[in-house]
Amino acid sequence: MNQDDQVITNLLTSYRAIPVMYSALHDGSVVGSVARRELAKILHMTIVDAVIFIAPYRAQIIYAMQDFRLYVVLISGIPTFGEAYWPAMSGEATLVKNLEPFKIPWENPVILDVGAGSVPYVGNFADVNKAPIIYLAADKRYKKCVPKCSVTGVEFTSFAVDIEESIPYYGYEGNPVDVLFLANFLHCLEDIDAFFQHILPCLPDLKIIKILEIKPDCNLDFLFDYHMFQHCKGHRFNFFDLDRLFPGKCKEIASLGDYHEMYTIEL
């Protein structure tokens, strides 16, 4: 990132802290609330330490929150998550040029896409695999908006679920999941190890994991990097993260074009 990008990134990332601190103060005894978890992440502390840390600043936080609200309510027609975020992620998906890594080496795969968003990659799987494909999309945002998918040859189902809290499916109508697909998702998690420890035993028929990530060294001209910065302070998932999680099991790192790569892990 150049210096101007860095300034913009800092401005864009600080807006989260005010509502998070405010909610964390007002969550009472809900130690594991979303706001408190988010606060702990922002401050790099445990949840308890983070709440203790902000407690003396209660008055300032309440003032900042009312100030924040004052400016937000002045604006009408603020786009929803589905209107603002999904088009940005779908735009990113169009930068994928090589579809070969979406090929699954067996017919009629059952794909579970976790953190699926607007499911921008479902068409890529449909293009290079024999129909029908069963595609299960899970995302915590589906509680508010559900994506539409009308790709030919795809049987599509979506689940509203926060994967860090529960995993409600093991297969779909007798079709066990054999592919786990994670696209630009791992950077959202607080604890990647815990995610895999939690999900893998729930998917006993899983054969491969495909992880699509932005290349560790690519230049994000479209400035969407601020989003990653919010989550993980800019750390891009890379081969070393993967090899630590699945020693020796990464069978392929394929370039999808100038921006992304796909890691394939065979279990």
Ligand X SMILES: C[S@@+](CC[C@H](N)C(=O)[O-])C[C@H]1O[C@@H](n2cnc3c(N)ncnc32)[C@H](O)[C@@H]1O
Which residues partner with 155 through β-bridges? 134
Distance in angstroms (rounded) separating the CA atoms of residues 72 and 68: 6
C-beta of 81: minimal distance to ligand X in Å? 8
Q: Which is nearer to ligand X, 89 or 253 (CB)?
A: 89
| Beta-carbon count within 10 A of 85 CB | 17
Q: How far is the CB of 258 from ligand X (least distance, A)?
A: 16
Beta-bridge partners for 137: 113, 158
What is the identity of the amino acid at 48?
V
For residue 109, the minimal CB distance to ligand X (Å) is 17
Q: How far is the CB of 3 from ligand X (least distance, A)?
A: 25
Measured in degrees and rounded to the nearest 5, phi and psi for residue 158 equal: -120, 150
Q: Any idea what DSSP says for residue 111?
A: E
Structure tokens at 15: 């807006």
Which residue lies nearer to ligand X by CB, 54 or 264? 264
Instruction: Compute the distance between CA of residue 111 and CA of residue 58 in angstroms, rounded to an integer.
Output: 46
Q: CB nearer to ligand X: give 134 or 186.
A: 186
Binding site for ligand X (CB under 6 A): 89, 93, 115-117, 120, 139-141, 162-164, 183-185, 188
**Residue with smaller CB distance to ligand X, 66 or 166:** 166
